[in-house]
Amino acid sequence: MRNDDPTDLTPAERDAFTALPREAEPGRMLEERTVAALREHGLLGRRRRAWARPAPLLAAAAAAVALFVSGLAVGQWFGTRTVVTSVASANHESALQMAAAVQRSGSAYVAALTALAQVADSANGPSVEQGREAALAALYAAVGELTILAPDDPVTVTLRDLFQRSGPTQGTAGQPEIRNVVWF
């Protein structure tokens, strides 16, 4: 018999009803049994690991490569901008420094030849000859470099042609003379 009126209960019955829990506690295996039943009926697919599916893995790898390559490109672009500016200023400064070095070297060359000419008056013939040959070799090399630097300059072309016509000095019996050049 069903009775919905709570006033019909005795106080002991009321205490027994209030002592009952309001919700039934599900068993520990309820979730596992439910998932297994849903899989049996085809309502729930098989559990897969994220790495087992190739599409998301390939998409993540492609995104990582794209991010890496774009980072390289941006870094190169920023680096190139600053390098171009610094190289341009360094080239200007180094060209001025090289011109000053050529001026100093030329002055030192002329001063060395002046000193050699003063020694030439003495009786030290083989040493003076060796110094003259070293001076000519340095002059040949300087004209060669000057030809590379300014190939269309008329003075450079004239010097180059003059040195090419003169050729190596001939020794006795038509053999090229062996030169002992000491480079410092």
Question: Model confidence over 97-138: pLDDT tens digits?
Answer: 778 888 888 888 888 888 888 876 665 677 778 888 888 888
CA distance 63 to 69: 10
Confidence grade of residue 140 (pLDDT, cut at 50, 70, 90)? confident
CA distance 46 to 129: 98
Q: Count the Cβ atoms, other than its own, within 10 Å of residue 158.
A: 11
Residue 27, both tokens: 């068993």
Amino acid identity at 122: S
| Structure confidence at residue 65 (pLDDT) | 94
Is residue 170 pLDDT above 50, yes or no? no
Is residue 90 pLDDT above 80, yes or no? no
Q: Are 138 and 109 in contact (CB under 8 A)?
A: yes
CA distance 7 to 59: 68
Tell me the whole-structure pTM to 2 decimals.
Answer: 0.40
Task: Find the mean pLDDT for residues 158-170.
Answer: 72
Higher-pLDDT residue of 139, 171: 139
CA distance 47 to 41: 15
Collapse the DSSP code of 2 into the 3-class scheme (helix H, G, I; strand E, B; otherwise coil) and give the result: coil
Amino acid identity at 26: P
| Structure confidence at residue 176 (pLDDT) | 56
DSSP state letter for 153: -
Q: What is the overall mean pLDDT for the chain? A: 78
Q: How big is the chain by its Cα radius of gyration, in Å?
A: 50
Is residue 29 pLDDT above 60, yes or no? yes
Confidence grade of residue 171 (pLDDT, cut at 50, 70, 90)? very low
Phi, psi of 122 (to 5 degrees): -85, -175
Alpha helices in the chain (DSSP H): 11-19, 30-40, 54-120, 125-149, 154-166
Is residue 93 pLDDT above 80, yes or no? no
Is residue 25 pLDDT above 70, yes or no? yes
